A and B are shown apart, each in its own frame.
Chain A
Amino acid sequence: DVKVTQSSRYLVKRTGEKVFLECVQDMDHENMFWYRQDPGLGLRLIYFSYDVKMKEKGDIPEGYSVSREKKERFSLILESASTNQTSMYLCASSPHTGSGYGYTFGSGTRLTVV
């Protein structure tokens, strides 16, 4: 059963902490994405990566960085967590090219910053 696995379902962190959200996919997909989901705002793209060590900013990259050292793993890093980063974070992956393959999503990590 192919899947995208996010390491934590729930996280509680303190303001100013460095936070790592991990995502692993077993489908040999080239593309990986990090979104945050907030009520009424839908899915907003933070960063994406189309190859190992490659990354592109999405629509809301401020306050975040990413790391992709291996094809199957894409990490989202909050350098200094703030309360406005409390949100649901979704990781997704897709093949590199070809219209319509869509994304496979993980189950999400609900992060609370206190």
Chain B
Amino acid sequence: GQQLNQSPQSMFIQEGEDVSMNCTSSSIFNTWLWYKQDPGEGPVLLIALYKAGELTSNGRLTAQFGITRKDSFLNISASIPSDVGIYFCAGQPPGYNFNKFYFGSGTKLNVKP
């Protein structure tokens, strides 16, 4: 399957700090999604991006669809303890009929109060 490289693999930050993570691919995607997985739960959709260059916010979260269509970025501002979890990127390549996405390996975020 397609390879999505997500980095960093894990982060340890202080409450109040900003966070950045990214996802890259060797091929282009039409759609990028960002999910968050709380401990012991399934992933939940945070932000969806549909166009190259698009910048979308959801509260303290901001995500961007890279101009090259081969990458995406997620930023979290002023982190709080409930931001703890694993963040996954997912991309959909062009020409796929069955709404199938490929997932990155995740960024595990730890926030110290």
How many angstroms between the C-alpha atoms of A107 and B30 in the bound complex? 27
**Which residues of A have CB within 8 Å of B42?**
4, 90, 92, 105-108
B90 and A102 within 8 A (CB): yes
CB A37 to nearest CB in B, in angstroms, measures: 8
Of chain B, the residue at the smallest CB distance from A91 is B42
Chain B contact residues: helix, strand, loop or mixed: loop
A84 touches B (CB below 8 Å)? no
Residue contact B88 to A42, C-beta cutoff 8 Å: yes
- Sort chain B's interface into a size bin: 20 to 34
From the candidates A4, A41, A102, A104, name the one contacting B101 in the complex (CB within 8 A). Answer: A102
Residue among A31, A41, A59, A106 making CB contact with B99, cutoff 8 Å: A31
Interface size class of A (residues with CB under 8 A): 20 to 34
Asked whether, in the complex, the Cβ of A42 is within 8 Å of the Cβ of B103, the reply is yes
Closest chain B residue, CB of each to CB of A33:
B100
A108–B39 Cα distance when bound, in Å, is: 11
Query: Which of A41, A97, A105 is within 8 Å of B44, CB to CB?
Result: A105
Contact, CB under 8 Å: A102 / B33: yes
Looking at the complex, which one of B43, B44, B99, B100 makes contact with A98 (CB distance below 8 Å)?
B99
- Contact between chains at A43 and B50 (CB < 8 Å): no
Contact indicator per residue, chain A 62-105, by CB within 8 Å of chain B (1) or not (0): 00000000000000000000000000001010111111111111
Q: A42-B88, A42-B105, A50-B98 are in contact. Are A100 and B48 (CB under 8 A)?
A: yes
14 contacts between A and B (CB under 8 A): A4-B42, A31-B98, A42-B6, A43-B106, A48-B100, A59-B1, A90-B43, A97-B98, A100-B50, A101-B99, A102-B101, A105-B44, A106-B42, A107-B40
| Residues on A facing B (Cβ under 8 Å) | 4, 31, 35, 40-43, 45, 48, 50, 58-59, 90, 92, 94-108
